[in-house]
Structure 1
Amino acid sequence: MLRSILLAATLSACVLCLTSWSIETDRSTEYKNGLFEIREEARRFVAQENAKGPQQWDVLEPNAKVLVPRCAVPLRAQWTPKRLGRSEPSVMVICATAVANDVMSHWDVPVPVRQKPKSN
């Protein structure tokens, strides 16, 4: 009986924690790069691209499962090369040098985009 109560309480706490999480609150820390900053770099890149021509894009959310070490240099972004085989267009946010860690020295995160509907 006590085990059932503990399980129910733990599951309730997990649900509350997950419902309060969002990309808006997923900011960079000393150890990890936040998805908020990754999305913002993709937004900056897309705003520059939108200013160049007739095609207009909206940035979607990066995959919430992504966890990468904090970047030691400014993030940069580019269109994800087609040779990487992604089926939909995306922007690749790139960290050329991650803060020293045992996992990876650099990384890139694809952020999906979609074409804005044409306005009449």
Structure 2
Amino acid sequence: MLRSILFTAALSACVTCLAAWSIDTDRSTPDKHGLFEIREEARRFIAQENAKGHEQWSVLEPNAKVLVPRCAVPLQAHWTPKSLGRSKPSVAVICAAAVPNEVMRQWDVHVPVRQKPD
């Protein structure tokens, strides 16, 4: 019975923590690059693309499961090449040099976008 009560209490605490998490609160730390900053870089790129006046795009949320090391250089962004086989358009946010770590030296995160309705 006590085990059941403890499990229920722990589950409730986890749900509360997950409910408070969002892309807006996932900021960079000394060890990891936050999804907030990654999404903001995609938004900057899309704002420049929208200013060209051809098509109008909006940025969606990056995959919340993504975890990448902190980038040591400014992020870059460009359209994800169609040759990568993605079914929908996305922006590749690229880190050319991550802070030294044992996992990866560089990374890219593909942030989905959608065309704004006319």
Work out whether the TM-score is over 0.5: yes
Give the Cα–Cα distance (whole angstroms) in 1 for the partners of residues 81 and 2 of structure 2.
54
- AA paired with 1:102? E
Gaps of 5+ in 1: none
For 2:88, the equivalent position in structure 1 comes to 88
Residue 5 of structure 1 corresponds to which residue in structure 2? Answer: 5
CA displacement, residues 59-104 of structure 1 (integer Å, 9 cap, x when unaligned): 0000000000000000010000001000000000000000000000
Question: SS state of the match for residue 98, structure 1?
Answer: coil
1:28 corresponds to 2:38: no
Superposition map of 1:45-84 within 5 A: 45-84=45-84
Structure 1 residue ranges (4+ consecutive) displaced by more than 2 angstroms after TM superposition: none
Question: Where does structure 2 lack aligned partners over 5 or more consecutive residues?
Answer: none
TM score, norm. by length of structure 1 = 0.97
Distance 1:33 1:97 in 2: 12
The whole-number CA distance in structure 2 between the counterparts of 1:35 and 1:48 is: 20
Amino acid aligned to 1:15: V
Question: Aligned-residue CA RMSD in angstroms?
Answer: 0.4
Q: CA deviation at 1:53?
A: 2.4
Please give the per-residue CA displacement for 1:29-84, whole angstroms capped at 9, x wherever unaligned.
Answer: 00000000000000000000001122000000000000000000000100000010
- Partners in 2 of 1:113 and 1:29 — Cα distance? 26
Query: TM (normalized to structure 2)?
Result: 0.99
